[in-house]
Chains A and B, each alone.
Chain A
């Protein structure tokens, strides 16, 4: 049997797949997430309009309701926003922005968290003490608070124009850096458990250096809790990004994420144009619920003690 086939069989016979097949909620959640993520990824192909292209926007089309309401225009499935952009296309592009920021921010968190957690857990002693104190302090300030303050200052320092050009990168950096303690703590606690095992002693006796032991021997055994927490963190990062954009500190209205779309629409809620706010809001909630349910499923599988039975 080839190596690929062996791996495939191992995956098929694993606990993860076994439980997944039995868990209808997990199947539904991952299906919904996959469909939304694919739609976001291929949005230029699916979307009937390009919301970033100003020539396709006509101000006369603004605030049209969705097709099933009175006054809807068949060209615009979900209606239009205040500038006459097709809401369906804008939501697809916005979803891509939200997912991209969420996933990249969590990758950054994971990178920092894994390195800090490994060192803290493996080296121990004073290093561990100091790093975990910093993590404690940072966790005690809420991420949202830290992000709001940092972004407010960055925005004031660079001015609105420059800020909107770099908004996506800044958001990823801020959300990524503000949340590293979550992953660092998880990694540290699993490292502390792994460190005492014999294979680590064996590796040490064979003369491997600490870096190699940490990354090649211990890290692969700490991956499952990292996956659980990273999944939940993606949902959190998407919500944080939406909140920041809602406050006007995130993505600019010309390149809206789901949060900035909701924020655009809030002005028009009073005049009856509820779809500009509530439809993107619905998409946001569905994505986040799907990711959270996937996270719950992973947690139940990887942590049998908690398995609901």
Chain B
């Protein structure tokens, strides 16, 4: 176990090293800080002095060392546009994105598990066939199109739901702003959450169904049925438990991937989260904010993936963690 842990941590560190190198090189080639800091009238000499004092003439490894040291302290530069430390800007936008992902995950869990289980238990039922057919179509519809169609139907034609923004948000504990504390906030989060979940739903329904089908044909389920237990408790208590294991691990990885889709969803709904902020930063050429976002999201991915791997090793002892040769 310790060996596996060590291996994973080293790999995570290596990936973070590559990401930081990547960000460092972007910052070096794209953003000339003196152009942003200096006034138009600055002489060439003053500019050279400024470069020297900022350490831009040092050898690259030295500059990279400084970049990493600052990043470890949480200093990822200052945004050109917001005139604030980039990490502060990102952390301010984080609750919006996390709440959106959370709401979407709730929808995924409460829709995919019942549908997947039902269509595994009754594979020939018309409703199961419908679910499978719809899930093929669902996979083929890009998330931004779902979002636009929802806006068209529910906001523009029916006027039931708002189409942009977070609505009324409530501050909790001073630094977290939540959508779930007011009716207006909840109404605002519904359409974005449905759009975001739409991309993952078909995948999860199919996954739950496939895993459930496999478990249902296993010996212990057959035995439980043969023993005379009624079908429903067998399905829900015996079978479902073992179905959840792969679903949890795949789900963990998918949550990381969801971050990418929040960019699309947030841009359609103008949801003031990290993804929308990133797109605006790209349009404004706000290089420090772009690199900070990449570092932050990269870190998030690495942490989530490492945790999921470890979790998988803990709950499924069959996995040979160290990868020894047989």
A, B bound: yes
Contact residues of A with B, CB < 8 Å?
A: 133, 137, 140-142, 144-145, 148-149, 152-153, 155-157, 235, 239, 242-243, 246-249, 259, 262, 266, 269-270, 272, 274, 277-278, 281, 284-285, 288-289, 292-293, 296
Within 8 A of A (CB), among B284-324: 285, 287, 290, 294, 297-298, 301, 305
- Is the CB of B185 closer than 8 A to any CB of chain A? no
Contact residues of B with A, CB < 8 Å?
A: 11, 15, 26, 29-30, 136-137, 139-145, 148-149, 151-152, 156, 163, 253, 256-257, 259-261, 263-264, 267-268, 278-279, 282-283, 285, 287, 290, 294, 297-298, 301, 305
Q: List 15 A-B contacts (CB under 8 A).
A: A137-B15, A140-B256, A148-B263, A149-B294, A242-B142, A243-B143, A246-B142, A246-B264, A246-B267, A262-B144, A262-B145, A274-B152, A278-B152, A281-B145, A296-B136
**A155-B282, A281-B149 as given contacts; A145 in contact with B297, CB under 8 Å:** yes
Tell me, in angstroms, the Cα distance from A286 to B225 when the chains sit together.
44
Residue in B136, B142, B143 whose CB lies within 8 Å of A293? B136
Q: Which residues does chain B contribute within 8 Å of A278, judged by CB atoms? A: 148-149, 152
Tell me, in angstroms, the Cα distance from A4 to B301 when the chains sit together.
53
Determine whether the beta carbon of B268 is less than 8 Å from that of A266.
yes
Interface centre among A247, A272, A296 (most CB of B within 10 A): A247
Determine whether the beta carbon of B136 is less than 8 Å from that of A141.
no
Q: Which residues does chain B contribute within 8 Å of A285, judged by CB atoms? A: 137, 140-142, 145
Q: Which residues does chain B contribute within 8 Å of A248, judged by CB atoms? A: 279, 283
Known: A246-B267, A270-B156, A289-B137. 13 other contacts (CB 8 A): A133-B11, A140-B301, A142-B260, A148-B263, A152-B290, A239-B142, A246-B142, A246-B264, A247-B264, A266-B148, A269-B152, A277-B152, A292-B139
* Closest residue of B by beta carbon distance from A141: B301
**A247-B279, A262-B144, A277-B148 as given contacts; A156 in contact with B30, CB under 8 Å:** yes
Q: Which residues does chain A contribute within 8 Å of B144, judged by CB atoms? A: 242-243, 246, 262
**A145-B260, A242-B142 as given contacts; A153 in contact with B267, CB under 8 Å:** no
Q: Which residues does chain A contribute within 8 Å of B15, judged by CB atoms? A: 137
Tell me, in angstroms, the Cα distance from A5 to B204 when the chains sit together.
46
Q: Shortest Cβ distance from B283 into chain A, in angstroms?
A: 8
**A153-B26, A156-B30, A243-B142 as given contacts; A292 in contact with B148, CB under 8 Å:** no
